[in-house]
């Protein structure tokens, strides 16, 4: 029996059933996430890209000339292109769990940037953090865009930021995106897009588990629920079961009575000040942050 099966069985049979957001991301899930980022409602991706484009020079002016960019969870290596174009770093180190993603992206990218030394690392986040920087070589800039940091619970987030500090090394840097607290209506819209891509993305976790672990979910019997929890300052995504279901995983049968909600994701929202404090707590010295005119999204540059 696989670790994944055990993990899923345990989290689904808990009094409040949950699934790890990592189960969103099979091939279809990544394509659906891509579709989400192009909906009019989902502002984070395009706002962050605009901030990077507008301030790339200002960012570079606070960094040493000789730099290696390390990107945990690089995926398709899309966002870093802008930095490779503008900064021409001496190296780029994508760390990505999906071997295929890593190969496709680096094969496409590397020939376009002959002066950038590519060192692709196939590893998940937790392993990614144990690649210490060479303190004699170029400074390492850890790039963690997209407000992916918002997926971590507060304690895990503190640990992860401390891990990014280790990955950066003692003369390294961190460039990280953090989505901001705002009008709940705006947030609710971003996670309930009219085209239904977010709903499909949420349900895809069940399709993925059916395929991988043969769970026997009926994904269409689940309703997408996403809402801003104002006191916890996070978007919560759930899948609400419309009728009684029994699924099976790791030789266990798990009852999901009608009305059961599986909590699939938290996406925490920050303030610039609050996030800067978290960076300090993780051992970083914040240098600058950039926010768009509407105050939707922030990018933070910090020194180790």
Binding residues for ligand AVJ (CB under 6 A): 36, 44, 146-148, 150-151, 191, 198, 201, 265, 267
Shortest separation between residue 180's beta carbon and ligand AVJ, angstroms:
12
Nearer CB in complex with ligand AVJ: 92/201? 201
Phi then psi dihedrals of residue 245, to 5 deg:
-140, 150
Nearer CB in complex with ligand AVJ: 181/248? 181
Spatial separation of the C-alpha atoms in residues 104 and 30, rounded to whole Å: 14
Nearer CB in complex with ligand AVJ: 116/267? 267
Contact 151, 273 (CB under 8 A): no
Shortest separation between residue 253's beta carbon and ligand AVJ, angstroms:
29
Shortest separation between residue 30's beta carbon and ligand AVJ, angstroms:
10
Structure tokens at 116: 């950038």
- Residue among 302, 71, 282 nearest 161 (CA): 282
Structure tokens at 9: 């069985």
Shortest separation between residue 115's beta carbon and ligand AVJ, angstroms:
30
Query: On the CB side of 4, how many CA atoms lie within 13 Å of its CA?
Result: 12
Report the residue number whose CB is nearest to ligand AVJ.
Answer: 267
Shortest separation between residue 77's beta carbon and ligand AVJ, angstroms:
15
Structure tokens at 35: 């579709």
Shortest separation between residue 200's beta carbon and ligand AVJ, angstroms:
11
Shortest separation between residue 89's beta carbon and ligand AVJ, angstroms:
24
Spatial separation of the C-alpha atoms in residues 124 and 157, rounded to whole Å: 16
Nearer CB in complex with ligand AVJ: 131/297? 297
Beta bridge partners of 93: 70
User: What b/e readout covers 143-171, taking b as 16+ CB neighbours within 10 angstroms?
Assistant: bbbbbbbbbbeeeebeebbebbbbbbbee
Neighbours of 19 (CB within 10 A): 23
Structure tokens at 106: 């680096």
Query: On the CB side of 143, how many CA atoms lie within 13 Å of its CA?
Result: 26
Nearer CB in complex with ligand AVJ: 146/286? 146
List, in order, residues 6 or more apart from 10 with CB less than 8 Å away: none
Nearer CB in complex with ligand AVJ: 265/278? 265
Nearer CB in complex with ligand AVJ: 201/275? 201
Nearer CB in complex with ligand AVJ: 71/265? 265
- Residue among 260, 249, 243, 235 nearest 147 (CA): 235
Shortest separation between residue 111's beta carbon and ligand AVJ, angstroms:
28
């Amino acid at each position: 029996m696989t670790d994944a099966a055990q993990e899923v069985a345990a989290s689904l049979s808990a009094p409040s059933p949950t699934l790890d957001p990592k189960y969103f991301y099979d091939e279809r899930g990544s394509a659906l996430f891509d579709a989400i980022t192009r909906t009019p409602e989902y502002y984070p991706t395009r706002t962050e890209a605009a901030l990077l484009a507008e301030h790339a020079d200002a960012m570079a002016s606070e960094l040493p000339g000789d730099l290696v960019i390390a990107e945990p969870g690089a995926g398709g290596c899309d966002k870093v292109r802008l930095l490779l174009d503008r900064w021409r770093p001496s190296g780029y180190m994508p760390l990505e769990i999906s071997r295929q993603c890593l190969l496709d992206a680096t094969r496409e990218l590397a020939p376009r940037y002959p002066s950038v030394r590519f060192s692709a690392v196939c590893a998940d986040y937790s392993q990614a953090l144990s690649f210490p920087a060479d303190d004699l070589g170029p400074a390492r800039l850890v790039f963690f865009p997209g407000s992916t940091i918002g997926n971590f619970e507060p304690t895990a987030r503190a640990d992860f930021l401390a891990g990014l500090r280790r990955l950066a090394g003692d003369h390294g840097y961190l460039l990280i995106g953090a989505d901001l607290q705002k009008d709940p209506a705006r947030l609710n819209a971003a996670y309930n897009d009219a085209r239904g891509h977010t709903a499909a993305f949420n349900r895809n976790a069940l399709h993925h588990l059916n395929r991988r672990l043969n769970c026997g979910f009926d994904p269409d019997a689940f309703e997408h629920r996403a809402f801003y929890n104002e006191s916890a300052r996070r978007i919560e995504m759930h899948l609400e079961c419309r009728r009684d279901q029994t699924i099976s995983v790791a030789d266990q049968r798990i009852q999901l009575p009608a009305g059961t909600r599986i909590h699939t994701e938290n996406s925490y929202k920050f303030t610039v000040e609050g996030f800067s404090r978290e960076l300090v707590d993780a051992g970083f010295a914040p240098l600058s942050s950039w926010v768009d005119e509407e105050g939707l999204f922030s990018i933070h540059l910090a020194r180790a």
